[in-house]
Amino acid sequence: MAKPDVPATPEPARPRHRADGGYARGEETRQRLIEAAIRLFGERGYEGASTRDIARMAGVNAPALQYYFDSKEGLYKACMADLSCSAEAHFAPALAAMEAALADPKASRETLMEAFFLMQDATADRLLLSDEAQHRRLFIAQDQAGRGALAEVQESPGKQRLKRAVAEVVARLSGRPANDPLTLLRMMTAQGQLLVFHVVPKTALQSLGWVQLDGEHLALLKQTVRDQTRALIDSWAPPRGD
């Protein structure tokens, strides 16, 4: 029976084999390997993370990695697919809200802004809420500094659809084309308000005297970003009569 390749696209790769304990147990083992690999690839880079250490962190024997992924390269591709799939699933509600607002040519500015705010809230939750967020960040940073393999995944149809929707919302709010460099800069800088808490979380929290971004603190951060973004969007509005 031919073994399918592990995809580097957002399509989740299915396990190559049925584990002795059944499909569910095999899928659980496979996911543990992916999670351990994302962590170690992020901490040590592709070359520095050994398959033996990945297997040990996942709590399985070393041959299990080859059993599910064929090779270290196959595991790396599975990590990329997993990151992309989980991101698309996480942002699906925000994307649906933006596309619904864009489908209505008479949608109010408030409706468009609320759709944008929902996407910002989803971004905050994705970047800041869990330990896995830090592991994802390190994995992506290592990839961008070295292999650059995630660039292909970033160009997936799902990711392009999300980027296009955000740009079109900003375009409608500012009265400029969605592909205008100024529109794209506005989109990226509005989102960039959250990055300090993602890139240097310990420094940011220490500056605020916070131990962690718990519910109350995260709610304050989201509201602050929302208020600042509203002010930005108001400044983007085209002059009356345009």
Q: In this predicted structure, what is the pLDDT of residue 150?
A: 66
Mean pLDDT by groups of 10 residues along the chain of 242 residues: 41 47 74 96 93 95 92 93 91 96 96 97 89 85 76 74 96 95 95 90 93 90 96 86 52
Tokens of 198: 């993602």
CA distances 185 to 25, 73, 119, 191, Å, are: 46, 35, 17, 10
Residue 183: exposed, middle, or buried by beta-carbon count in 10 A (0-12, 13-18, 19+)?
A: buried
Are 153 and 80 in contact, with CB atoms under 8 Å apart? yes
Distance CA 198, CA 234 (A): 26
Q: For the range 113-119, what are the long-range contacts, defined as Cβ-Cβ under 8 Å and sequence gap of 24 or more?
A: 113/173, 113/229, 113/230, 113/233, 115/169, 116/166, 116/169, 116/170, 116/173, 116/190, 116/229, 116/233, 117/226, 117/229, 118/93, 118/94, 119/91, 119/94, 119/95, 119/166
Residue 4's pLDDT is 39
Rounded Cα gap, residues 18 and 137, in angstroms: 32
pTM above 0.75, yes or no: yes
Q: CB–CB of 156/170 below 8 Å? A: no
pLDDT score, position 206:
95
